[in-house]
Structure 1
Amino acid sequence: MLAVTAEDHRPTGPVAVLANPTAGRGRHRGLLPRLLDGLAAAGRPVQLLEARTPDEAEAACHAAVAGGAGAVVAVGGDGTVHRALQAVAGTSVPFGPVPAGTGNDFAVDTGFPADPLAAVAVIADALRAGRSRPVDLARMTTARGGDRWYGAVLAAGFDAIVNERANRMRWPRGPRRYDLAILVELARLRPRAYTLRLDGEEHRLDAVLVAVGNCASYGGGMRICPDADPTDGLLDVVVGGRFDRRTLMRVKPRLYQGTHVTHPLVRSYRARTVELAAEGITTYADGERALDLPVRITAVPAAVRLLH
């Protein structure tokens, strides 16, 4: 593991806050005024960004950074964090994730408290002290020019296929839509042929689950890449091979403890650069719809500075 040191960065611009009121099915919506007050207690101006859609949220973060924001804070789940990361990645603007969503994997895996008010207290203390610390991000690119950053995990197997189906469905609404998508895709389950290049070394394999992790968890605490470390300059790749339906459903609960990696059909790898190809797969990064395969994923050390 690379040594991680806290450094003093005292940007002078306002703290730009991206808040998703629907994150976590709205259960933390009433907390927003207290969260903003907690940030303001650091003695810095606080600017609440206006956005009605995910694309507008991302654009607002880019505009805030370009306009001289001294920090960006995302109040929401991994999807909200993902949008903000597109703007702060590769810059010196520090970032604070406040876990207030259904899935808060990046925030928790990088050491922030799971309670939103406690996370704001950590961020405010770092703002007062001018303190931030670097962590890695993963950068996705395609031959067609696509480019995305992510902080937690890229899903490129069964879970991505389920997400894609759920997003196409208009009924039912809420969590039941995702449950129905799982049932439909389980009925259609089949291993797919993947080509995987790890730092240039090619592997051809049939798989049902494929994940590329900068952090350990996705989906609200499933430790799909249990040994991933967002400070080591490497990506962890976990591949679940030729699972049938029954075996997959038996292994799935083990994801929460990370013990699935001991199953004989699961293989784990580690690399700085991962090239992944398969037919008909749209990837999901930090739970957000990302790029179609094939993609190239690179670990970028110290790509973002966290207010911690």
Structure 2
Amino acid sequence: MSSASNTASTATDIAVATAALGKNRACSEVTGNADKHQCRKVLVLVNPLASKRRQRLLHELIQQLDGRNIFYSYFETLPQVEQTIVAVASLARECNEAIVLGGDGTLHQAVNALIEYRMPIGYIPCGTGNDFARYWFADDMPQSDAAWVAQALDTETQVIDVGQAGSRYFINVAGVGFDGELVKRMNNRKFFWPKLSYLLAALQAISSYQAIPFNLSKSQQKVVALGARSGFLFTLANSQFFGAGMHIAPHARLNDGRLAYCFVEKCNWFARFSILKRVGQGTHSDLAKVHCGQLNAVQVTTENLPVQADGEYIGTTPMIFRSIPAAILLRGRRNL
């Protein structure tokens, strides 16, 4: 008893077949048991943008789900997070786990849409930057499509934190100031060479962006004191990488109930280039104009500073940032 009819030969056919036949079937139709918690019901969230690798992985996933007689529903994320949260709610209530296929933006949407349901989430990275995956899978990167799908279905869940920026949750990194401005200028566009594109955009903006005072409150004294200095960049990291491989927060941990911050003071353009280079290597924390540490929460009260979260532009300050400990259940290989 397969959760969809014949497995389609392309991602588009899979989507159509699954949407038509998969999402409305009750769990009892699959197992004969009316208790939805007695069988696996998987919500598959997919980035709809075309990608050969994503199509291959989706095809492999559907094959494995069908082969195991696992019920599944299929959902393509929408352009705005708020749209996805509303549209996916009815499916989420009928499922007890999820698998996400996409990059950091798709994972960002999934976290915001599913956080209240407390379901295990499997992740198959197939985006452009894949910054969260750099840390999460760093110790044991699967080598085949089948292995990627198997880890998303079968590895044990680990309880990890997320961050919150205003009303938006983030699993990776939020940035205020230069980083937020950079994401805003890039307008959420995806590029074939994501790290090179990020660096080129950064180099174009780095000399013109004006550092201003960051008024900080509702945090420890050391952090609040930074607000007396004009700031160029203020990042708050749940995980370690951003900007397609820039190692902004080597001191970040996913299960410590804190956000790792990096505050870069006002400095001349030459120092900015030097800091950017060191960020790429993760060796910037000892520089004179760089301040790193950890915090539970902070409020940025300065107005109109641009803010990004997981590579998505989300608005401007004032805004409160905080860690949400033990917020989601994520399947994966990192030993926390």
Give TM-score, length-normalised by structure 1: 0.82
Contact 2:275/2:284, CA 8 A, preserved across alignment: yes
Identity of aligned residues (%): 27
Write the distance in 2 (CA, Å) between the matches of 1:222 and 1:296: 24
Write the distance in 2 (CA, Å) between the matches of 1:135 and 1:250: 33
Aligned residue number for residue 92 of structure 1: 118
Question: 1:277: how far off?
Answer: 3.0
Contact 2:77/2:109, CA 8 A, preserved across alignment: no
Write the distance in 2 (CA, Å) between the matches of 1:137 and 1:41: 33
Which of residues 269, 277, 290 is equivalent to 1:245?
269
Give TM-score, length-normalised by structure 2: 0.75
Aligned residue number for residue 47 of structure 2: 20
RMSD over aligned Cα, in angstroms? 2.8
The structure having more radius of gyration, on CA atoms, is 2
The residue type paired with residue 259 of structure 2 is L
Contact 2:131/2:241, CA 8 A, preserved across alignment: yes
Aligned residue number for residue 168 of structure 2: 148
Aligned residue number for residue 106 of structure 1: 132
Question: 1:198: how far off?
Answer: 5.5
Question: 1:82: how far off?
Answer: 0.4
Write the distance in 2 (CA, Å) between the matches of 1:200 and 1:38: 49
SS, match of residue 231 in structure 1: coil
Pick closer, same or farther for the CA change 1:63–1:105 going to 2, 3 Å: farther
User: Which structure 2 segments of 5+ residues have no match?
Assistant: 1-36
Which of residues 186, 190, 213 is equivalent to 2:210?
190
The residue type paired with residue 43 of structure 2 is A
Aligned residue number for residue 158 of structure 1: 178
Write the distance in 2 (CA, Å) between the matches of 1:258 and 1:198: 28
Aligned residue number for residue 4 of structure 1: none
Write the distance in 1 (CA, Å) between the matches of 2:78 and 2:282: 36
Question: 1:217: how far off?
Answer: 1.1
**Number of aligned residue pairs:** 285
Q: Is residue 2:310 matched to residue 1:286?
A: yes
User: Which structure 1 segments of 5+ residues have no match?
Assistant: 1-9, 142-146
Aligned residue number for residue 162 of structure 2: 137
Pick closer, same or farther for the CA change 1:34–1:196 going to 2, 3 Å: same
Write the distance in 1 (CA, Å) between the matches of 2:131 and 2:68: 25
Contact 2:48/2:77, CA 8 A, preserved across alignment: no
Contact 1:198/1:271, CA 8 A, preserved across alignment: no
Contact 2:128/2:192, CA 8 A, preserved across alignment: no
Aligned residue number for residue 295 of structure 2: 271
